[in-house]
Amino acid sequence: MKRINSIKIVIKTTVFVMLIACFTACSNDDSAVVEAMEDEEIAVIIDDTDFEATDWTSETHSKDADPNFDEVFDDNAVKRLDIVVTEARWQAMLDDMTSLYGTFGGNSVGPGGVGSASGGLTEIDEDPIFVPAEVFYNGKEWYRVGVRFKGNSSLQSSWQAGILKLSFKLDFDEFEDDYPQIKNQRFYGFKKLSLKNNYDDTSMLREKVAMDVFRNSGLVGSHTAFYTVYVDHGDGSQYFGVYTLVEEVDDTVVDTQFSSDDGNLYKPDGDAASFANGTYDEDEYVKKNNEDEADFSDVESLLSILHDDSRTTDAATWRTNLEAVFDTDVFLKYLAVNTVIQNWDTYGRMTHNYYLYNNPDTNKLTWIPWDNNEALQEGKQGGSPALDFSDISASQWPLIGYLYNDSVYKAKYDSYVQEAVDGSFNTNSMQSLYTSYSTLIEPYATTEVSGYTFLNSSSDFYTAINQLKSHVSSRATAVNNYLNN
């Protein structure tokens, strides 16, 4: 099947007569129309433009409503989202995934065997297609919401392992040009949301807990919450399991946690994301806004200053120049927290899973963490970096190596390490949080069903919770040994 970046279903002309017969028999609720014929193929779309958005209210659906964090990101509840998509559109999503990643369940790659998109997996630059679907929450309907599968190695590995508990991205006005009724549709003030499938995490807590720790440390970060997800793609509602709903950085994170969202927002991915000398590549500093303005001078300046000779000849001048373009204090706090909790699938081991935002108030690039399902464990790919970074190459990861090797920055880093174990990652507080969250999601996690779960049995869940509790104690010991060495 030819790949197309839309909801169209391509059908060979040899079935044209059958198609016409199908059109005649279709009900008014699911009629199909021929849109175009090209290259001996016919593209078919579902005509469902005639509807009234009866559940629409200003508070729940309008762009004018402020984001309702209390409603959408409740730390003390497991809420439910239902996604309803037509059988034809669901099949289009599956066919598109097949074109990207091969046959569903086509090999034995599982959660324990994947370390990166290059670790035996296929490098894919395209996102899966969006299709319109209905989203139901708390008795209300959101109309023709853009829904697609999302993820990189986690998506590919889940698909190839035959597990349909796939992550989703929701964009509530993705199809507003096709459906004027949903112009500027929002979900309690949110345009975009991610539903993370907690891949490679049998505790189902890591994504949420890691972001809680970052935010409790005073860092910018996404709000998160637990949700159960049900999908009806023509055969009735199917339980897809426990997901973590994550606030999108390029939607409300930047808009609400900075004074302005006008600054450049980057999601680096690739060699340039390491900031190693000679890696500058605008294509890999992926812009999430201001795309029409070909201005990459901020990241270019960071790379240039970072590698300037003054670093070794005049450290004070180097720090002054670096701090003019990069919020080193935010980065050092992030680095301390990230290294204390352990998180291998990001900068220091992998060239992805962070954002940089040019804060208009300071004109400095500011670090924002992202994608934490692999956090709170030693991890893969050599494991999470040591607290003293003795196991990483400073030239390969200069934002870590160069700053840590500077005595002024090392002292700040060490103070933030101590602050983390005393505060946001305090052992007693974390033990209590793990107990609270695991109790909250247990009834939903242990009842996930085969084909829609990464658990072999409910005992996997309990084992993972105990491992998290042991981990936080071990990290307190590691920090004590590091700071008193």
Confidence of residue 2 (pLDDT cuts 50, 70, 90): very low
* Alpha-carbon gap, residue 199 to 208, rounded angstroms: 13
* Alpha-carbon gap, residue 122 to 116, rounded angstroms: 10
* Alpha-carbon gap, residue 346 to 370, rounded angstroms: 8
Confidence of residue 110 (pLDDT cuts 50, 70, 90): very low
Same domain? 232 vs 116: yes
Inter-residue contact 166 to 159 (CB < 8 Å) = yes
Same domain? 395 vs 344: yes
Same domain? 204 vs 89: yes
* Alpha-carbon gap, residue 26 to 310, rounded angstroms: 73
Beta bridge pairs of residue 458: none
Does 271 fall in a domain?
A: yes
Confidence of residue 294 (pLDDT cuts 50, 70, 90): confident
| Tokens coding 424 | 């946001």
Burial of 436 (0-12, 13-18, 19+ CB in 10 A): exposed
Same domain? 151 vs 299: no
* Alpha-carbon gap, residue 437 to 465, rounded angstroms: 10
Inter-residue contact 81 to 135 (CB < 8 Å) = yes
**Ranges of H-type helices in 280-406:** 297-306, 310-313, 315-325, 328-341, 398-404
| Tokens coding 4 | 């197309």
Does 16 fall in a domain?
A: yes
Enumerate residues 6+ apart whose C-beta is below 8 A from 206.
Answer: 198, 372, 373, 374, 375, 376, 377, 468
Q: Indicate the range of 6-15, 154-163, 178-187 predicted with least confidence.
A: 6-15
Confidence of residue 152 (pLDDT cuts 50, 70, 90): confident
Strand 41-46 to 131-137 pairing: unpaired
Does 462 fall in a domain?
A: no
Query: At CA 111, angle to CA 110 and CA 117, rounded to 5?
Result: 90
pLDDT digits (tens, 9 = 90+) for 170-220: 999 999 999 999 999 999 999 999 999 999 999 999 999 999 999 999 999
Enumerate residues 6+ apart whose C-beta is below 8 A from 89.
Answer: 7, 46, 131, 132, 133, 233
Inter-residue contact 343 to 349 (CB < 8 Å) = no
Total domains, the chain: 3
Enumerate residues 6+ apart whose C-beta is below 8 A from 344.
Answer: 350, 374, 378, 379, 380, 381, 382, 383, 384, 385
Same domain? 41 vs 98: no
Same domain? 11 vs 104: no
Residue 414: count of CB within 10 angstroms of its CB: 18
| Tokens coding 152 | 């990189």
User: 3-state DSSP call for residue 212?
Assistant: helix
Confidence of residue 46 (pLDDT cuts 50, 70, 90): low
* Alpha-carbon gap, residue 251 to 465, rounded angstroms: 32
| Nearest residue to 285 via CA among 379, 188, 355, 388 | 355
**Ranges of H-type helices in 55-172:** 58-61, 69-72, 87-101, 153-160
User: 3-state DSSP call for residue 153?
Assistant: helix
| Tokens coding 474 | 């071990």
Same domain? 3 vs 97: no
Element (H, E) at 73: none
Does 481 fall in a domain?
A: no
| Tokens coding 410 | 């090392």
Give phi and psi for 291, each to the nearest 5: -65, -30
Cα dihedral angle (286, 290, 295, 296), rounded to 10 degrees? -30
* Alpha-carbon gap, residue 251 to 3, rounded angstroms: 28
Domain membership of residue 278 as a residue range: 265-422
User: 3-state DSSP call for residue 142?
Assistant: strand
Same domain? 302 vs 193: no
* Alpha-carbon gap, residue 203 to 459, rounded angstroms: 10
Does 431 fall in a domain?
A: no
Same domain? 3 vs 68: no
* % of the chain beyond a pLDDT of 70: 88
Cα dihedral angle (276, 281, 285, 289), rounded to 10 degrees? 150
Residue 470: count of CB within 10 angstroms of its CB: 11
pLDDT digits (tens, 9 = 90+) for 359-418: 999 999 999 999 999 999 999 989 999 999 999 999 999 999 999 999 999 999 999 999
Give phi and psi for 187, each to the nearest 5: -110, 95
Q: Choose the final residue of a domain: 257, 288, 323.
A: 257
Same domain? 86 vs 19: no
Does 160 fall in a domain?
A: yes
pTM score, whole prediction: 0.89
Model confidence at 28: pLDDT above 80: no
Same domain? 85 vs 208: yes
Same domain? 35 vs 144: no
Inter-residue contact 113 to 60 (CB < 8 Å) = no
